[in-house]
Amino acid sequence: MHFRLYFRRSSAVATLLLGLACWPDASAQPVSQGVWSQFRGPGGHGRSDAKGLPLAWSDEKNVVWKTALPGPGASSPIVHGPRIFLTCFTGYATSPRELGSMENLKRHVLCLNLEDGKLLWNTAVPAALPEQDRVREDHGYASSTPVTDGERVYAFFGKSGVFAFDLEGRQLWRTEVGSNLNGWGSATSPVLYRNLVLVNASVESASLVALDRTTGREVWRASGINESWHAPVLVNAPDGRTEVVVAILKKVLAFDPENGRPLWHCDTGINWYMCPTPVAQDGVVYSIGGRNPNGALAIRAGGRGDVTGSHVVWKLNKGSNVPSPVLHEAYLYFAHENLGIVSCVNAKSGEVVFEERLNPSPGQIYASPVLADGRLYFTGRGGRTVVVAAQPKFEQLADNSLEANRGAFNASPAIVGRQLLLRSNRFLYCLGEK
């Protein structure tokens, strides 16, 4: 496979890239109880060192606050300090019974107070039309989780573009990264690397795009990103360099985040689009995905060219098509999106340690699990969350339901302090021991 690299021809690019060396590396941020700044938290690992999170809750128990949202969405909340940021959409297709007019479609970036859930500001942006008429399974038009560096909030709305806002909700810039549409909508979440916003624009232009944080100007673009639905992953390679990794149809690709040049690629044997976000630790990338059959593999980072025969640690015919995995203490955990089966795999050998069915079943699982205080939280689409011990022996600890398990919960939870943030199409919940 050949990958072409496009650079915006500007004399300022070289100066900007030289300046990146002085910018703090977002991939190296430690997990902080007050920061959950991107999809799946710091590093995209879905883990927190927080203690004292709630084990049990319901609509009447351990709900610290609950805030009605102005519109639906599948994006996850992020947190920086006392502020929560979230997206939603209004004006069109918010209800399967009343579609309304596409001309009224707007995306919203919301800011809420962490302490009490009060809405602090709501900035709406119109959609670039025409948009997708319908999004399959009612995922809607606000599926990408925003990211923040504590100075700005960056949101991705598909063909409408990438937006930057200040912390008071004022729009600073907007940049288009492609105009193509897909029946599943647009869902990949941006991540930050030094002075860059990295956007997986697989749907919009089959590209991985890097934008300048301050101006929104395109710095580099790599092509060949096909059938990829997840956030880019920053990986610390064994040589100390950072790689940006993306899983696509049949392959995992790695690029240099400084300039977008291809580094390595690996055949996966997974003949399906790739939704789960890979995870990485100690120079090894773990990627799962596919449907009938699923697949999983571990790849040592740091290679060059085709590393299929040299850097694959193990392969497995197990995996999940939607939720991302969690890596904890040398074990990889993931849940099958339809079967409600949780798997635990030895991350070093690929040996399956256990496969156990959650009971009662949470139904379909599209949210990615999160881990804190030795517990894994698996949230089903109706609103049931099953809690499992993060250990190589299966132990189910609790099951909890919101909205009578008849809601629409597609977003992944966020962890801040001793609380969980969980959003449905209707509400944002703050859950904690009371």
pLDDT of residue 97: 83
- What separation, in Å, do the N-terminal and C-terminal C-alpha atoms of the chain show? 55
Does some domain include residue 218? no
If one counts the domains in the chain, the total is 3
Judgement on whether residues 175 and 52 belong to the same structural domain of the protein:
yes
Judgement on whether residues 268 and 341 belong to the same structural domain of the protein:
no
pLDDT of residue 34: 66
Does some domain include residue 14? no
Does some domain include residue 200? yes
Judgement on whether residues 168 and 142 belong to the same structural domain of the protein:
yes
Q: What is the layout of strands, in order, in the sheet containing 147-148?
A: 147-148, 152-156, 162-166, 171-175
Judgement on whether residues 403 and 292 belong to the same structural domain of the protein:
no
How would you classify residue 229: left for phi > 0, otherwise alpha for psi between -120 and 50, otherwise beta?
alpha
pLDDT along the chain (434 residues), means of 10: 36 34 36 77 96 97 98 98 97 90 97 98 97 92 98 98 98 98 96 98 98 98 98 96 98 98 97 97 97 95 98 97 97 97 98 97 97 98 98 98 97 97 98 94
Q: Which of 323, 345, 365 is the last residue of a domain?
A: 323
Does some domain include residue 175? yes
**CA distances, 18 to each of 9, 181, 243, 259, 295 (Å):** 16, 35, 17, 11, 40
Judgement on whether residues 160 and 251 belong to the same structural domain of the protein:
no
Q: Which residues span the domain enclosing 257?
A: 231-323
Block residue for tokens 């710091």: 42
Compute the distance between CA of residue 235 and CA of residue 240 in angstroms, rounded to an integer.
Answer: 10
Does some domain include residue 291? yes
Judgement on whether residues 356 and 282 belong to the same structural domain of the protein:
no
Judgement on whether residues 181 and 56 belong to the same structural domain of the protein:
yes
Burial 137-157 (b: 16+ CB within 10 A, else e): ebbbbbbbbbbbbeebbbbbb
Residue 68: CATH number of its domain: 2.40.128.630
Judgement on whether residues 240 and 149 belong to the same structural domain of the protein:
no
Does some domain include residue 5? no
Judgement on whether residues 59 and 109 belong to the same structural domain of the protein:
yes
Residue 245: CATH number of its domain: 2.40.10.480
Judgement on whether residues 268 and 352 belong to the same structural domain of the protein:
no
Q: Which of 323, 349, 375 is the last residue of a domain?
A: 323
Radius of gyration of the chain (CA): 20
Judgement on whether residues 129 and 276 belong to the same structural domain of the protein:
no
pLDDT of residue 138: 85
Judgement on whether residues 311 and 358 belong to the same structural domain of the protein:
no
| Tokens matching residue 217 | 């100007």
Does some domain include residue 392? yes
Does some domain include residue 361? yes
pLDDT of residue 403: 98
Q: Which of 323, 350, 385 is the last residue of a domain?
A: 323
